[in-house]
């Protein structure tokens, strides 16, 4: 089968290369099954709709897979319209973070299949089998709703979470890493990448047992973690650096240090390599200790990102148990990172229930005073998304504007702008991580 897997053209509200990686991971997986696959990140390529339409028409695909996300709702709808008009005999499906949260919305678009649950690769594989069987009527494949002659049919059963040994790592030759680097150039945007350095994203784990209700990972990937083995991870890094001018590694995992033994094995393996690979990761403060931070630093770790969320007691009381008492944990962790030369990047939720603008401001000031990086984002109640919402309403769940400003006034007593100015005011923080990572030219 000839397949296009793509991220539709759009203007991003936020950029994380790891979120775009499924375009290429799914493509690599489908190729391993014998399919002919093209992979395109139309968003990062700043692709025009004419260019996208040319690709569709000239590709003459049997299946078009549109990767969805919280800030690309309009792009998925428009891409589906183009695909339906230009490839009337092709099937069109969508898979991604947003359809796992609100699949019903996508059943209103010009689509043939919508992934509800399970890993993206498994959802597309199930859809391909359904198409090859002639689009039979009745319940849809595992984790996928399908449009049949009788209308939309729900999944026959939940989707499949693949064991890690079945994942296929993406081909770096087709990922537009130079475009991603440009998106990270302005550090004031508080995106996840390190400015002026080329990032290799390595997806090492899926699933997380922490259970934050503002996080989409448990819904998408499950509460049980799955993780690649260390030799495969390091082999991928080694081969990727040999092929392209990467300068550091971004380990993509919901809670990188959840498996401490795995992390220590990784550090030992990286230390044994003939060249040094600077790297960064994201985890929780609970899953770190001083010895682990020191060991990670010696193995090349230049940045650790953690969810501080808030220092206000009323807001912290609503967090998962292991994230409560964040101030005490932060004070310990910030001192360890400072001692061992690791940048601490702190995720902060602006507008978290129970918090105030003034309390949020004090939290930001305390983090900055400790020499750490503040990475704020806006609280977004994903559980309030509904299938009947309009495209515009659903686009509001992008963590940059309040979904319901009137509710903010009614429940907090504050104007939404008092919170928003904390998100957009900017600061004079300059990341030290850039200088800690040698350029490719420097070897």
pLDDT (tens digit, 9 = 90+) per residue, 139-164?
999 999 999 999 999 999 999 999 99
Domain co-membership, 387 together with 280: yes
Q: State which of 23-27, 206-210, 212-216 shows the largest mean pLDDT.
A: 23-27
| Helix or strand run (H / E) with residue 269 | helix 260-271
User: Model's pTM, two decimal places?
Assistant: 0.94
Give the three-state DSSP class for 149. coil
Specify the pLDDT at position 214.
65
Residue 172 lies in a domain: no
User: Is residue 213 predicted with pLDDT exceeding 70?
Assistant: no
Mean pLDDT calculated for residue range 385-411: 92
**Do 315 and 239 share a domain, yes or no?**
yes
Angle (CA) 179-183-188 rounded to 5° is 165
- Residue pair 117/158 in contact (Cβ under 8 Å)? The answer is yes
CATH of the domain at 300: 3.20.20.70
How many Cβ atoms are within 10 Å of 181's Cβ, its own excluded? 18
The answer to the question of residue 240 being in a domain is yes
How many domains, in total, are found in the chain?
A: 2
Position 167 in a domain: no
**pLDDT given at position 316:** 75
Cα 7 from Cα 78, distance rounded (Å): 12
| First-residue to last-residue Cα distance in the chain | 42
Q: How far is CA 16 from the centre of its chain?
A: 6
- The predicted structure's pLDDT at residue 442: 61
> Are 113 and 195 contained in the same domain?
no
pLDDT for 349: 92
Q: Of the candidates 175, 303, 184, which has an alpha carbon nearest to the alpha carbon of residue 236? A: 175
Pair 386, 291 in one domain: yes
Residue 91 sits in the same domain as residue 48: yes
207: nearest Cα among 173, 144, 162: 162
The structure tokens 């959802």 sit at 123
> Taking a C-beta distance cutoff of 8 angstroms, is the pair 46, 10 a contact?
no
Domain containing residue 84: CATH number = 3.40.50.280
173 domain-assigned: no
Confidence of residue 443 (pLDDT cuts 50, 70, 90): low
178 within some domain:
no
Q: Do 435 and 319 belong to one domain?
A: yes
Same domain, 149 and 189: no
Q: Which token pair is 135?
A: 């689009």
129 and 192 in a single domain? The answer is no
Average pLDDT, the chain: 94
Which of 130, 153, 176 is the last residue in one of the domains? 153
Q: What is the pLDDT of residues 173-201, one digit of tens each?
A: 999 999 999 999 999 999 999 999 999 99
Judgement on whether residues 224 and 86 belong to the same structural domain of the protein: no
Which stretch of 5-9, 93-97, 208-212, 436-440 has the lowest confidence by average pLDDT?
Answer: 208-212
Judge whether 196 lies within some domain. yes
Q: Do 196 and 149 share a domain, yes or no?
A: no
Across 227-247, average pLDDT = 97
Please write the tens of the pLDDT for every residue from 29-87. 999 999 999 999 999 999 999 999 999 999 999 999 999 998 899 999 999 999 999 99
**Is 214 within a domain?**
yes
73-83 pLDDT, tens digit each: 999 999 999 99
pLDDT higher than 60, residue 124: yes
Whether 149 and 294 map to the same domain: the answer is no
Q: Which of 135, 153, 171 is the last residue of a domain?
A: 153
Q: Are 415 and 409 in contact (CB under 8 A)?
A: yes
Give the Cα separation of 421 and 440 in Å (integer).
Answer: 38
| Domain boundary residue, one of 153, 176, 207 | 153
Is 341 found in the same domain as 192? yes
- Chain position carrying tokens 């990286």: 270
Domain span at 60: 2-153
């Amino acid at each position: 089968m000839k397949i296009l897997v793509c991220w539709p053209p759009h203007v991003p509200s936020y950029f994380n290369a790891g979120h775009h990686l499924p375009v290429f991971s799914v493509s690599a997986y489908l190729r391993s099954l014998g399919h002919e696959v093209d992979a395109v990140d139309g968003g990062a390529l700043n692709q025009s709709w004419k260019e996208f339409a040319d690709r569709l028409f000239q590709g003459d695909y049997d299946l078009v897979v549109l990767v969805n996300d919280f800030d690309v709702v309009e792009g998925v709808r428009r891409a589906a319209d183009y695909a339906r008009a230009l490839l009337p005999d092709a099937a069109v499906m969508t898979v991604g973070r947003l359809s796992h949260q609100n699949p019903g919305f996508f059943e209103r678009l010009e689509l043939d299949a919508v992934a509800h649950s399970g890993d993206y690769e498994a959802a597309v594989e199930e859809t391909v089998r359904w198409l090859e069987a002639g689009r039979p009527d009745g319940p849809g494949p595992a984790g996928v709703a399908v449009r049949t002659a009788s209308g939309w049919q729900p999944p026959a059963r939940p989707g499949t979470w693949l064991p890690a040994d079945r994942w296929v790592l993406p081909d770096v030759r087709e990922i537009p890493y130079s475009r991603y680097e440009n998106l990270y150039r302005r550090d004031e945007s508080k995106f996840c990448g390190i400015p002026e350095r080329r990032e290799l994203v390595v997806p090492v784990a899926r699933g997380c047992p922490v259970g934050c209700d503002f996080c989409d990972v448990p819904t998408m990937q499950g509460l049980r973690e799955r993780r690649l083995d260390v030799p495969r991870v390091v082999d991928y890094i080694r081969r990727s650096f040999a092929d392209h001018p990467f300068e550091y590694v971004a380990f993509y995992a919901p809670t990188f240090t959840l498996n401490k033994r795995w992390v220590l094995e990784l550090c030992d393996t990286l230390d044994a390599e003939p060249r040094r690979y600077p790297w960064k990761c994201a985890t929780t403060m609970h899953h770190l200790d001083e010895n682990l931070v020191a060991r990670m630093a010696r193995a090349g770790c230049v940045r650790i990102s953690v969810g501080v969320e808030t220092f206000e007691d009323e807001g912290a009381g609503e967090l998962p148990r292991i994230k409560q008492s964040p101030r005490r944990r932060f004070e310990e962790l910030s001192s360890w990172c400072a001692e061992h030369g690791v940048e601490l990047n702190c995720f902060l939720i602006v507008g978290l229930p129970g918090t105030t603008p003034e309390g949020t401001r004090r939290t930001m000031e305390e983090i900055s005073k400790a020499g750490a990086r503040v990475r704020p984002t806006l609280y977004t109640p994903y559980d309030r998304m509904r299938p009947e919402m309009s495209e515009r309403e659903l686009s509001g769940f992008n963590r940059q504007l309040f979904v319901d400003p009137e509710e903010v006034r009614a429940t907090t007593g504050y104007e939404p702008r008092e919170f928003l100015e904390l998100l957009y005011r900017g600061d004079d923080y300059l990341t030290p991580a850039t200088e800690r990572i040698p350029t490719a030219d420097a070897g």
